[in-house]
């Protein structure tokens, strides 16, 4: 078999096993990209022959040199590694068996072999590996803790009238570029300040808050040219928090150059989360939804709460940035 024929065999195999859309064959005008509609289809015939060829290749490659000469085979025949050979044969045979089983037990219109893969599973564990600081091997206990952290959804909320929603996909909030400081707030909404402590943040959620506040701080700092203003949002010295374990997750990701959020940045995120959770509760929901600009309303409530707590830093520098607008 020449190089062209060798490459062609693997290209056909790849086209067959990577079909994830029933229209792919029509779009590419390639019969090997069509979904499997029967056990006798050309693609299935090829897979069976391909498996037999792999088995034959493996058997011949395993023969001693003397036997190869007797059979007239090249003295140094190329071969795949043991692991690659096994994976290729096992995958091909498994797909053949799956198709035969499905057509025997069921009557599907077609089968998409590209759907039989572990991409989602691999992506999930890759995420856990990254969350553990790129440690390749980590034990089950750490996996369970990372899974718990991943399940802390800070973008998932629920309105009594609107139902459950995610901030990133919600159309409830009208985005605006208007960042005017002048804004009227219904006086009754200030009552949320008295009850924000009702919204508790568990120790398991705090690492996620620190991570997100660090991301926010980094994005804000990229738009600032003033070192003094930037220092109010990010720091390279690490964050000291009363719960030691809260910073452990970000510490795992820190290889020496990670920017940490300041305590002030973290307080902004925590207050925003608590105030928003109160606004969507029964006693404030109706007034909140009637507001003209929900995003700006939330911004002003958060900033007013920060001023009430005397946590807004005084910034006076040459850049003349309006710190209220930066926040």
Q: Are the beta carbons of 218 and 259 closer than 8 angstroms?
A: yes
Q: What is the pTM of this model?
A: 0.43
- Mean pLDDT along residues 62-84: 69
The CA-CA-CA angle for residues 84, 86, 89, to 5°, reads 105
Residue 99 has φ and ψ, to the nearest 5°, of -60, -45
- Mean pLDDT along residues 251-276: 76
Among 51-55, 151-155, 252-256, the minimum mean pLDDT is found in: 151-155
pLDDT in tens, 124-144: 777 766 655 555 445 555 555
Q: Are the beta carbons of 262 and 234 closer than 8 angstroms?
A: yes
SS3 222: coil
Task: Give the pLDDT score at 177.
Answer: 41
- Measured N-to-C along each axis, helices 263-279 and 294-308 cross at an angle, to the nearest 10 degrees, of 130
Among 19-33, 42-56, 159-173, the minimum mean pLDDT is found in: 159-173
Task: Give the pLDDT score at 249.
Answer: 65
Determine the distance from the C-alpha atom of residue 292 to the mean position of all C-alpha atoms in its chain, rounded to a whole number.
33
- DSSP assigned state of 234: E
Quote the CA–CA distance of 267 and 241 in Å, as a whole number: 11
pLDDT in tens, 139-195: 555 555 555 555 555 555 555 555 554 555 444 444 444 444 445 666 666 677 766
The CA-CA-CA angle for residues 306, 155, 239, to 5°, reads 50
User: Please, what is the end-to-end C-alpha distance for the chain in angstroms?
Assistant: 68
Task: Give the pLDDT score at 238.
Answer: 61
pLDDT band at residue 101 using 50, 70 and 90 as cut-offs = very high
Quote the CA–CA distance of 96 and 54 in Å, as a whole number: 14
Task: Look over the chain and give the mean of its residue pLDDT values, rounded to a whole number.
Answer: 74
Q: Give the DSSP letter string of 133-162.
A: TS-S---HHHHHHHHHHHT--SSEEEETTT
* Inter-residue long-range contacts of 37-45, CB under 8 Å, 24+ positions, other chains counted: 37/109, 37/110, 37/111, 38/103, 39/99, 39/100, 39/103, 43/16, 44/96, 44/99
- Mean pLDDT along residues 61-67: 69
Quote the CA–CA distance of 304 and 189 in Å, as a whole number: 12
In the predicted structure, residue 41 carries a pLDDT above the cut 80? yes
């Amino acid at each position: 078999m020449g190089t062209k024929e060798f490459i062609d065999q693997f290209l056909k195999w790849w086209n067959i096993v990577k079909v994830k859309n029933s229209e792919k064959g029509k779009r590419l005008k390639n019969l090997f990209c069509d979904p499997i509609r029967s056990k006798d289809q050309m693609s299935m015939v090829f897979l069976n022959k391909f498996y037999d060829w792999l088995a034959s290749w493996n058997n011949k490659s395993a023969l001693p040199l003397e036997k190869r000469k007797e059979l007239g085979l090249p003295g140094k025949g190329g071969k795949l590694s043991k692991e690659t050979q096994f994976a290729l044969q096992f995958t091909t045979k498994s797909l053949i068996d799956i198709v035969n089983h499905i057509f025997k037990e069921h009557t599907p219109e077609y089968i998409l072999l590209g759907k039989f893969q572990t991409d989602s599973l691999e992506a999930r564990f890759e995420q856990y590996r990254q969350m553990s600081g790129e440690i390749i091997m980590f034990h089950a206990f750490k996996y369970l803790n990372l899974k718990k952290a991943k399940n802390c959804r800070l973008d998932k909320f629920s309105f009594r009238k609107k139902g459950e929603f995610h901030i990133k996909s919600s159309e409830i909030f009208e985005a605006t570029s208007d960042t005017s400081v002048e804004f009227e707030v219904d006086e009754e909404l200030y009552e949320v300040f008295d009850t924000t402590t009702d919204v508790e943040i568990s120790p398991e959620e705090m690492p996620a808050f620190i991570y997100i506040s660090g991301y926010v701080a980094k994005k804000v700092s990229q738009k600032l040219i003033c070192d003094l203003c930037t220092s109010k949002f990010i720091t390279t010295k690490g964050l000291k928090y009363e719960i030691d374990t809260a910073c452990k997750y970000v510490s795992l990701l820190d290889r020496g150059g990670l920017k940490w959020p300041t305590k002030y940045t973290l307080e902004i995120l925590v207050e925003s989360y608590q105030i928003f959770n109160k606004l969507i509760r029964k006693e404030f929901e109706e007034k909140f939804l009637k507001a003209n600009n929900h995003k700006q309303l939330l911004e002003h409530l958060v900033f007013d709460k920060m001023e009430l707590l005397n946590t807004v830093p005084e910034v006076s520098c040459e850049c003349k940035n309006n710190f209220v607008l930066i926040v």
